[in-house]
Structure 1
Amino acid sequence: MGRWRKVKQGKIGKRREKRKTSDETALPCAPITLRLKAFLTDTFMITMPILYIVIYLVMGDREGFREHMGEGWLIILIVHMAATLLFWKLKAQTPGMKAYDLTLIDPQTGEKPGIVKLFLRYVMLQTAILSFFGMFLPFIMRHKEGLHDLVSGTCIVYRPR
């Protein structure tokens, strides 16, 4: 007796639809090229003004910065972290991310991540930038996540206007 006849007679239930796994329903991370462009834009829009202000206004000049380089870099890092976390918390975007229609989300909820996840993402982003492994991880990961995405449980998605 064929399968169709057994199904029609009710001896075998209909095939159940295959449930989607969490990988299939997860929002895809934005392309690496867009995230890199946003990062470079943020470098010039956020980091460069902070560097200039700290070196020339806070430390006086390059020689003053050179003499107190540790303090200078600490100030730069703290101000950069505060600015980036503020952008992420308020709009889930930095200026570079906004320019390329990227949004930072918590993939489990689809909403803006909490401050703890944002802080963890920032710390791990700096770690990824300084490590060889962290820089190339998105190129080998299936969903193109970076070290900071994996550890913090966040993702940057492309949402065109």
Structure 2
Amino acid sequence: MRWRSVKQGKIDKSQTETKQKDYSPAPISDRLKAFLTDTFMITMPIMYIVIYLVMGSREGFREHMAAGWLYIIIPHYLIVTFLWTIKGETPGMRAYDMKIIRWNSLENPNFFQSTIRYIAMPFSILSIVGVVIAFFRKDKATFHDLISLTRMIHVPKK
């Protein structure tokens, strides 16, 4: 089947294929660095605010630890999933030229995919197997990538 040119209103197959191939899977080492960067840029300020401003002190946090962790996890969840859905990246991912996209397109994940990814990520990391499978896959997909139908790509600098 011959593809008509873009001028005639059809997408050129060769242009679509090259656009998809321009993006390689994000290196696992860069993913780890981005995770650590996000921990310090997103999680640590939230923890500081909750422990010292909301709970009053470390002792107050220790006495009400379950509530304290909820006060940390809920804003973290909202911030991270918002960034993944709107921008496709967090500050750490931006620093290492990475982006999260839907599995079959270059679009940002929707809120549902971002939520599934956020919930599956701790299970993937804690089980070790969820992260180790990335070393054996050509596309470097982890368990939480597979479950949420997303993938992390390296975005070349412009």
Report the TM range for the smaller structure's normalisation.
0.7 to 0.9
Q: Would you say the 8 A contact 1:103–1:156 is kept in 2? A: yes
1:2-21 alignment runs, 5 A limit: none
Tell me what 2:89 maps to.
93
1:57-72 alignment runs, 5 A limit: 57-72=53-68
Verify: 1:107 aligned to 2:103, yes or no.
yes
Indicate how the Cα distance of structure 1 residues 26 and 145 shifts in structure 2: closer, same or farther if over 3 A, else same.
farther
Structure 2 CA distance, aligned partners of 1:66 and 1:135?
31
Verify: 1:131 aligned to 2:127, yes or no.
yes
Greater mean deviation of Cα atoms: 128-137 or 42-51? 128-137
CA deviations 1:106-138 (Å, max 9, x no partner) are 131221111111110110112212223223222
Structure 2 CA distance, aligned partners of 1:112 and 1:134?
22
Match of 1:40 among 32, 36, 42: 36
Structure 1 CA distance, aligned partners of 2:125 and 2:51?
22
Stretches (4+) displaced over 6 A: none
Structure 2 CA distance, aligned partners of 1:27 and 1:160?
8
The amino acid of 1:87's aligned partner reads L
CA deviations 1:54-73 (Å, max 9, x no partner) are 11111110000000111111
Tell me what 2:140 maps to.
144
Shift of 1:77: 0.9
Q: Would you say the 8 A contact 2:23–2:156 is kept in 1? A: no
Verify: 1:122 aligned to 2:122, yes or no.
no
Question: TM-score normalized by structure 1?
Answer: 0.79
Q: Would you say the 8 A contact 1:125–1:148 is kept in 2? A: yes
The amino acid of 2:138's aligned partner reads R
Unaligned residue ranges in structure 2 (runs of 5+) = 1-19
Tell me what 1:19 maps to.
none
Q: Would you say the 8 A contact 2:97–2:155 is kept in 1? A: yes
Q: How many residues are paired up?
A: 138
